[in-house]
Protein backbone atom coordinates (compact mmCIF):
# COMPACT_ATOMS: atom_id res chain seq x y z
CA UNK A 1 0.00 0.00 0.00
CA UNK A 2 1.26 3.47 -0.90
CA UNK A 3 0.10 5.25 2.25
CA UNK A 4 2.15 4.14 5.23
CA UNK A 5 3.75 5.69 8.32
CA UNK A 6 4.34 9.34 7.58
CA UNK A 7 1.66 9.30 4.87
CA UNK A 8 -0.88 8.07 7.41
CA UNK A 9 0.08 10.84 9.81
CA UNK A 10 -0.35 13.33 6.98
CA UNK A 11 -3.73 11.86 6.08
CA UNK A 12 -4.91 12.26 9.68
CA UNK A 13 -3.70 15.85 9.76
CA UNK A 14 -5.46 16.66 6.50
CA UNK A 15 -8.75 15.32 7.86
CA UNK A 16 -8.88 16.38 11.53
CA UNK A 17 -10.99 13.94 13.54
CA UNK A 18 -13.34 16.62 14.88
CA UNK A 19 -13.93 18.05 11.41
CA UNK A 20 -14.60 14.58 10.05
CA UNK A 21 -17.17 13.89 12.77
CA UNK A 22 -18.89 17.23 12.25
CA UNK A 23 -19.03 16.68 8.51
CA UNK A 24 -20.70 13.36 9.30
CA UNK A 25 -23.36 15.14 11.43
CA UNK A 26 -21.90 14.52 14.85
CA UNK A 27 -22.66 17.28 17.33
CA UNK A 28 -20.57 17.75 20.41
CA UNK A 29 -20.10 20.51 22.92
CA UNK A 30 -17.09 21.49 24.99
CA UNK A 31 -16.59 19.15 27.91
CA UNK A 32 -15.76 20.36 31.39
CA UNK A 33 -12.12 19.75 30.63
CA UNK A 34 -12.06 22.53 27.99
CA UNK A 35 -9.66 20.68 25.72
CA UNK A 36 -12.27 18.05 24.81
CA UNK A 37 -15.64 17.80 23.09
CA UNK A 38 -18.38 15.44 24.20
CA UNK A 39 -21.48 14.10 22.42
CA UNK A 40 -23.53 11.00 21.68
CA UNK A 41 -21.46 8.02 20.55
CA UNK A 42 -21.73 7.25 16.83
CA UNK A 43 -20.64 3.67 17.52
CA UNK A 44 -23.33 2.53 19.96
CA UNK A 45 -26.89 3.49 20.92
CA UNK A 46 -27.03 5.87 23.87
CA UNK A 47 -29.09 8.74 25.28
CA UNK A 48 -26.46 10.21 27.56
CA UNK A 49 -23.31 11.64 25.88
CA UNK A 50 -20.20 9.62 26.68
CA UNK A 51 -18.18 10.03 23.45
CA UNK A 52 -15.16 12.32 23.94
CA UNK A 53 -13.01 13.89 21.24
CA UNK A 54 -9.65 15.51 21.88
CA UNK A 55 -8.95 17.73 18.84
CA UNK A 56 -5.35 18.46 19.87
CA UNK A 57 -4.42 14.79 20.17
CA UNK A 58 -6.78 13.93 17.29
CA UNK A 59 -8.19 11.00 19.31
CA UNK A 60 -11.59 9.82 20.55
CA UNK A 61 -12.76 7.68 23.47
CA UNK A 62 -16.21 6.43 24.43
CA UNK A 63 -16.87 5.71 28.10
CA UNK A 64 -20.05 3.87 27.10
CA UNK A 65 -18.69 1.19 24.78
CA UNK A 66 -15.05 1.53 25.78
CA UNK A 67 -13.76 2.04 22.27
CA UNK A 68 -11.30 4.69 21.22
CA UNK A 69 -8.52 5.59 18.83
CA UNK A 70 -7.72 7.79 15.88
CA UNK A 71 -9.60 8.73 12.73
CA UNK A 72 -8.77 5.50 10.91
CA UNK A 73 -9.99 3.45 13.89
CA UNK A 74 -13.23 5.45 13.89
CA UNK A 75 -13.79 4.71 10.20
CA UNK A 76 -13.00 1.02 10.73
CA UNK A 77 -15.58 0.81 13.53
CA UNK A 78 -18.30 3.03 12.07
CA UNK A 79 -18.12 1.84 8.46
CA UNK A 80 -17.20 -1.79 9.25
CA UNK A 81 -14.11 -1.65 7.05
CA UNK A 82 -10.65 -3.15 7.36
CA UNK A 83 -7.70 -0.89 8.11
CA UNK A 84 -6.65 -0.83 4.46
CA UNK A 85 -10.21 -0.18 3.27
CA UNK A 86 -10.56 2.66 5.78
CA UNK A 87 -7.47 4.40 4.39
CA UNK A 88 -8.95 4.14 0.88
CA UNK A 89 -12.25 5.48 2.17
CA UNK A 90 -10.52 8.53 3.70
CA UNK A 91 -8.41 9.22 0.64
CA UNK A 92 -11.66 9.26 -1.35
CA UNK A 93 -13.03 11.88 1.04
CA UNK A 94 -10.05 14.09 0.30
CA UNK A 95 -10.37 13.89 -3.47
CA UNK A 96 -13.50 12.11 -4.67
CA UNK A 97 -12.80 9.53 -7.40
CA UNK A 98 -9.18 10.42 -7.90
CA UNK A 99 -8.05 7.64 -5.54
CA UNK A 100 -10.45 5.21 -7.19
CA UNK A 101 -9.14 6.10 -10.65
CA UNK A 102 -5.58 5.79 -9.33
CA UNK A 103 -6.32 2.28 -8.05
CA UNK A 104 -8.03 1.36 -11.31
CA UNK A 105 -5.25 2.70 -13.48
CA UNK A 106 -2.59 0.98 -11.33
CA UNK A 107 -4.42 -2.32 -11.69
CA UNK A 108 -4.70 -1.96 -15.47
CA UNK A 109 -1.01 -1.09 -15.68
CA UNK A 110 -0.10 -4.38 -13.97
CA UNK A 111 -2.55 -6.21 -16.22
CA UNK A 112 -0.81 -4.93 -19.34
CA UNK A 113 2.13 -7.20 -18.54
CA UNK A 114 -0.06 -10.20 -17.77
CA UNK A 115 -1.92 -10.26 -21.09
CA UNK A 116 0.11 -10.15 -24.31
CA UNK A 117 -2.81 -8.81 -26.39
CA UNK A 118 -2.38 -5.34 -24.86
CA UNK A 119 1.34 -5.14 -25.68
CA UNK A 120 0.69 -6.58 -29.14
CA UNK A 121 -1.86 -3.89 -29.82
CA UNK A 122 0.54 -1.13 -28.72
CA UNK A 123 3.26 -2.57 -30.97
CA UNK A 124 0.83 -2.68 -33.85
CA UNK A 125 0.17 1.03 -33.31
CA UNK A 126 3.92 1.65 -33.39
CA UNK A 127 4.37 2.09 -29.64
CA UNK A 128 7.35 0.02 -28.54
CA UNK A 129 9.37 1.96 -25.96
CA UNK A 130 8.73 0.28 -22.58
CA UNK A 131 9.94 3.36 -20.67
CA UNK A 132 7.42 5.56 -22.47
CA UNK A 133 4.59 3.05 -21.95
CA UNK A 134 5.46 3.15 -18.25
CA UNK A 135 5.74 6.94 -18.18
CA UNK A 136 2.34 7.40 -19.80
CA UNK A 137 0.88 4.87 -17.35
CA UNK A 138 -0.67 2.83 -20.16
CA UNK A 139 -2.58 -0.22 -19.01
CA UNK A 140 -4.81 -2.97 -20.30
CA UNK A 141 -8.34 -3.90 -19.24
CA UNK A 142 -8.91 -7.58 -19.87
CA UNK A 143 -12.44 -7.32 -18.47
CA UNK A 144 -14.27 -9.22 -15.70
CA UNK A 145 -11.54 -8.82 -13.08
CA UNK A 146 -11.57 -5.15 -12.03
CA UNK A 147 -14.55 -5.53 -9.70
CA UNK A 148 -13.11 -8.09 -7.25
CA UNK A 149 -9.86 -6.10 -7.13
CA UNK A 150 -11.60 -2.84 -6.22
CA UNK A 151 -14.08 -4.52 -3.85
CA UNK A 152 -11.14 -5.89 -1.87
CA UNK A 153 -9.89 -2.31 -1.55
CA UNK A 154 -13.24 -1.28 -0.06
CA UNK A 155 -15.12 0.25 -3.00
CA UNK A 156 -18.81 -0.53 -3.19
CA UNK A 157 -20.43 -1.77 -6.38
CA UNK A 158 -22.65 1.35 -6.39
CA UNK A 159 -19.56 3.57 -6.35
CA UNK A 160 -18.01 1.76 -9.33
CA UNK A 161 -21.30 2.00 -11.21
CA UNK A 162 -21.67 5.70 -10.34
CA UNK A 163 -18.17 6.51 -11.67
CA UNK A 164 -18.86 4.42 -14.77
CA UNK A 165 -16.19 1.75 -14.34
CA UNK A 166 -18.90 -0.92 -14.22
CA UNK A 167 -21.92 -1.06 -16.53
CA UNK A 168 -25.54 -1.74 -15.54
CA UNK A 169 -25.12 -5.51 -16.06
CA UNK A 170 -22.05 -5.49 -13.81
CA UNK A 171 -19.60 -5.77 -16.72
CA UNK A 172 -16.37 -3.75 -16.97
CA UNK A 173 -16.85 -0.58 -19.00
CA UNK A 174 -13.32 -0.91 -20.36
CA UNK A 175 -13.39 -4.57 -21.40
CA UNK A 176 -10.55 -5.42 -23.86
CA UNK A 177 -9.22 -1.89 -24.05
CA UNK A 178 -5.84 -0.25 -23.80
CA UNK A 179 -6.10 2.42 -21.08
CA UNK A 180 -4.47 5.84 -20.78
CA UNK A 181 -4.93 7.74 -17.49
CA UNK A 182 -5.63 11.46 -18.10
CA UNK A 183 -4.07 13.61 -15.40
CA UNK A 184 -4.51 17.19 -14.38
CA UNK A 185 -2.00 18.58 -11.90
CA UNK A 186 -0.77 15.00 -11.38
CA UNK A 187 -4.20 13.77 -10.36
CA UNK A 188 -6.16 11.36 -12.59
CA UNK A 189 -9.37 13.01 -13.79
CA UNK A 190 -10.46 10.47 -16.41
CA UNK A 191 -9.49 7.28 -18.18
CA UNK A 192 -9.38 6.86 -21.95
CA UNK A 193 -9.83 3.37 -23.36
CA UNK A 194 -9.08 2.28 -26.93
CA UNK A 195 -10.57 -1.04 -27.91
CA UNK A 196 -8.27 -3.75 -29.21
CA UNK A 197 -11.25 -5.61 -30.66
CA UNK A 198 -14.32 -4.69 -32.64
CA UNK A 199 -16.18 -2.72 -29.93
CA UNK A 200 -16.81 1.04 -30.12
CA UNK A 201 -13.25 2.37 -30.52
CA UNK A 202 -13.05 5.28 -28.08
CA UNK A 203 -14.32 5.42 -24.52
CA UNK A 204 -13.98 7.93 -21.70
CA UNK A 205 -15.68 7.79 -18.32
CA UNK A 206 -18.84 9.95 -18.18
CA UNK A 207 -17.09 12.95 -16.65
CA UNK A 208 -15.01 15.87 -17.88
CA UNK A 209 -12.04 14.88 -20.02
CA UNK A 210 -10.10 17.53 -18.10
CA UNK A 211 -7.53 19.84 -19.62
CA UNK A 212 -5.05 19.19 -22.41
CA UNK A 213 -3.12 15.95 -21.97
CA UNK A 214 0.16 16.30 -20.04
CA UNK A 215 -0.25 20.07 -20.11
CA UNK A 216 1.92 20.49 -17.00
CA UNK A 217 4.96 19.41 -19.00
CA UNK A 218 3.98 20.66 -22.49
CA UNK A 219 2.97 24.21 -21.57
CA UNK A 220 6.62 25.28 -21.17
CA UNK A 221 7.38 24.83 -24.87
CA UNK A 222 7.19 27.91 -27.11
CA UNK A 223 5.82 25.72 -29.92
CA UNK A 224 3.12 23.18 -29.20
CA UNK A 225 1.79 20.40 -31.44
CA UNK A 226 -1.88 19.60 -30.87
CA UNK A 227 -3.15 16.18 -32.00
CA UNK A 228 -6.54 14.44 -31.88
CA UNK A 229 -5.68 11.14 -30.27
CA UNK A 230 -3.50 9.72 -27.53
CA UNK A 231 -1.80 7.28 -29.93
CA UNK A 232 -0.77 10.28 -32.05
CA UNK A 233 0.69 11.82 -28.93
CA UNK A 234 2.42 8.63 -27.82
CA UNK A 235 4.25 8.04 -31.13
CA UNK A 236 5.25 11.70 -31.38
CA UNK A 237 6.66 11.59 -27.85
CA UNK A 238 8.46 8.38 -28.80
CA UNK A 239 10.03 10.25 -31.73
CA UNK A 240 11.16 13.03 -29.42
CA UNK A 241 8.37 15.55 -30.06
CA UNK A 242 7.74 16.09 -26.35
CA UNK A 243 5.97 19.36 -27.12
CA UNK A 244 2.90 17.40 -28.26
CA UNK A 245 -0.38 17.64 -26.39
CA UNK A 246 -3.78 16.14 -27.11
CA UNK A 247 -7.38 17.25 -26.71
CA UNK A 248 -8.84 13.71 -27.09
CA UNK A 249 -10.99 14.56 -30.08
CA UNK A 250 -11.19 17.66 -32.25
CA UNK A 251 -13.62 19.52 -30.04
CA UNK A 252 -11.80 21.47 -27.34
CA UNK A 253 -13.42 22.17 -23.99
CA UNK A 254 -13.39 25.78 -22.72
CA UNK A 255 -10.61 24.80 -20.30
CA UNK A 256 -8.48 23.32 -23.09
CA UNK A 257 -8.97 26.43 -25.24
CA UNK A 258 -8.05 28.67 -22.33
CA UNK A 259 -4.89 26.62 -21.74
CA UNK A 260 -3.76 26.97 -25.36
CA UNK A 261 -4.44 30.71 -25.30
CA UNK A 262 -2.91 31.48 -21.89
CA UNK A 263 0.34 32.60 -23.54
CA UNK A 264 0.15 34.69 -26.74
CA UNK A 265 3.80 34.02 -27.60
CA UNK A 266 3.10 30.36 -28.05
CA UNK A 267 2.62 29.02 -31.56
CA UNK A 268 0.40 26.03 -32.16
CA UNK A 269 0.71 23.34 -34.83
CA UNK A 270 -2.53 21.51 -35.49
CA UNK A 271 -1.80 17.96 -36.62
CA UNK A 272 -5.29 16.47 -36.94
CA UNK A 273 -6.33 13.44 -38.99
CA UNK A 274 -6.42 13.78 -42.76
CA UNK A 275 -9.81 12.10 -43.08
CA UNK A 276 -11.24 10.98 -46.37
CA UNK A 277 -14.46 12.84 -45.51
CA UNK A 278 -12.46 15.97 -44.54
CA UNK A 279 -13.82 15.92 -40.95
CA UNK A 280 -10.36 16.34 -39.41
CA UNK A 281 -9.40 19.10 -41.84
CA UNK A 282 -12.63 21.01 -41.17
CA UNK A 283 -12.15 20.70 -37.42
CA UNK A 284 -8.57 21.96 -37.77
CA UNK A 285 -9.74 24.93 -39.87
CA UNK A 286 -12.44 25.88 -37.35
CA UNK A 287 -10.04 25.62 -34.43
CA UNK A 288 -7.33 27.54 -36.30
CA UNK A 289 -9.83 30.37 -36.93
CA UNK A 290 -10.70 30.46 -33.28
CA UNK A 291 -7.05 30.54 -32.13
CA UNK A 292 -6.27 33.15 -34.78
CA UNK A 293 -9.03 35.37 -33.41
CA UNK A 294 -7.33 35.02 -30.04
CA UNK A 295 -4.16 36.30 -31.76
CA UNK A 296 -2.31 33.02 -31.36
CA UNK A 297 0.12 32.10 -34.15
CA UNK A 298 -1.32 28.87 -35.56
CA UNK A 299 -0.32 26.52 -38.38
CA UNK A 300 -2.09 23.57 -39.91
CA UNK A 301 0.05 20.50 -40.57
CA UNK A 302 -0.79 18.48 -43.68
CA UNK A 303 0.01 14.79 -43.62
CA UNK A 304 -0.23 12.47 -46.64
CA UNK A 305 -3.79 11.41 -47.52
CA UNK A 306 -5.75 9.44 -44.96
CA UNK A 307 -2.98 9.61 -42.37
CA UNK A 308 -2.93 10.79 -38.80
CA UNK A 309 0.40 11.23 -37.00
CA UNK A 310 0.10 7.73 -35.53
CA UNK A 311 -0.57 5.93 -38.80
CA UNK A 312 2.04 8.06 -40.57
CA UNK A 313 4.79 6.77 -38.27
CA UNK A 314 3.34 3.24 -38.21
CA UNK A 315 3.61 3.31 -42.04
CA UNK A 316 7.34 3.98 -41.75
CA UNK A 317 7.68 7.77 -41.61
CA UNK A 318 10.74 9.07 -39.76
CA UNK A 319 11.35 11.98 -37.45
CA UNK A 320 12.69 14.04 -40.34
CA UNK A 321 9.61 13.25 -42.46
CA UNK A 322 7.45 14.72 -39.73
CA UNK A 323 9.79 17.68 -39.25
CA UNK A 324 9.34 18.42 -42.96
CA UNK A 325 5.55 18.38 -42.48
CA UNK A 326 5.93 20.84 -39.60
CA UNK A 327 8.12 23.13 -41.71
CA UNK A 328 5.61 23.07 -44.53
CA UNK A 329 2.66 23.73 -42.23
CA UNK A 330 0.41 26.53 -43.46
CA UNK A 331 -0.19 29.52 -41.26
CA UNK A 332 -3.51 31.34 -41.45
ZN1 LIG B 1 -19.72 4.21 22.39
153 alpha carbon – ligand 1 mean position (Å): 27
Query: Can you say whether the dihedral through the CA atoms of 108, 110, 115, 118 is positive or negative?
Result: positive
Return the SS3 of 182: strand
17 alpha carbon – ligand 1 mean position (Å): 16
| Residue 187, burial from CB neighbour count under 10 angstroms (0-12, 13-18, 19+) | middle
- Strands of 28-30's sheet in order across: 28-30, 37-39, 51-54, 59-62, 68-69
6 alpha carbon – ligand 1 mean position (Å): 29
Strands 298-300 and 330-331: antiparallel
61 alpha carbon – ligand 1 mean position (Å): 8
pLDDT tens, 98-108? 889 999 999 99
Length of the chain, in residues:
332
84 alpha carbon – ligand 1 mean position (Å): 23
Q: How far apart are CA 71 and CA 17, in angstroms?
A: 5
22 alpha carbon – ligand 1 mean position (Å): 17
Question: What is the mean pLDDT, run by run of 10 residues, along the chain of 332 residues?
Answer: 69 92 91 90 96 96 97 94 86 82 97 95 96 98 93 91 89 94 88 91 89 93 96 98 96 88 90 84 91 92 92 95 95 83
299 alpha carbon – ligand 1 mean position (Å): 68
> Who contacts 151 (Cβ-Cβ below 8 Å, separation ≥6)?
157
86 alpha carbon – ligand 1 mean position (Å): 19
pLDDT for res 4: 62
202 alpha carbon – ligand 1 mean position (Å): 51
39 alpha carbon – ligand 1 mean position (Å): 10
88 alpha carbon – ligand 1 mean position (Å): 24
pLDDT for res 100: 94
| Residue 313, burial from CB neighbour count under 10 angstroms (0-12, 13-18, 19+) | buried
Asked whether the beta carbons of 208 and 173 are under 8 A apart, the reply is no
176 alpha carbon – ligand 1 mean position (Å): 48
| Residue 38, burial from CB neighbour count under 10 angstroms (0-12, 13-18, 19+) | middle
Residues around ligand 1, an ion, CB closer than 5 A: 41, 43-44, 62, 64-65
Selection from 129, 117, 136 nearest residue 230 by Cα: 136
Asked whether the beta carbons of 224 and 218 are under 8 A apart, the reply is yes
pTM for the whole thing?
A: 0.78
Return the SS3 of 246: strand
Selection from 222, 297, 227, 295 nearest residue 256 by Cα: 227
Asked whether the beta carbons of 157 and 110 are under 8 A apart, the reply is no
152 alpha carbon – ligand 1 mean position (Å): 28
Task: State percent of the chain over pLDDT 70.
Answer: 99
Q: How big is the chain by its Cα radius of gyration, in Å?
A: 25
The DSSP 8-state label assigned to residue 222 in this structure reads S
Q: How far apart are CA 99 and CA 2, in angstroms?
A: 11
82 alpha carbon – ligand 1 mean position (Å): 19
Selection from 175, 119, 167 nearest residue 144 by Cα: 175
64 alpha carbon – ligand 1 mean position (Å): 5
Element (H, E) at 178: strand 177-184
5 alpha carbon – ligand 1 mean position (Å): 27
Q: How far apart are CA 315 and CA 293, in angstroms?
A: 36
> Who contacts 223 (Cβ-Cβ below 8 Å, separation ≥6)?
243, 266, 267, 268, 269
Amino acid sequence: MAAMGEDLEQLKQRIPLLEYLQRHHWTGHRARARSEFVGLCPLHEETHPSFYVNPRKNLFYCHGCGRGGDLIRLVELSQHLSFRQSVTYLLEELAPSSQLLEHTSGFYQLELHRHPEGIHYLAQRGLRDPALIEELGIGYARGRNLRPHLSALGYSLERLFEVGLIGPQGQDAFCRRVIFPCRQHHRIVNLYGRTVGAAFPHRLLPRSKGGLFAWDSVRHFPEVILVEGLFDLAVLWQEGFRNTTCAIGTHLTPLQLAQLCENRDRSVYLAFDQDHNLAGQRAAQALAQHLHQNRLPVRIVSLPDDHDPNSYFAAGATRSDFLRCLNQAQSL
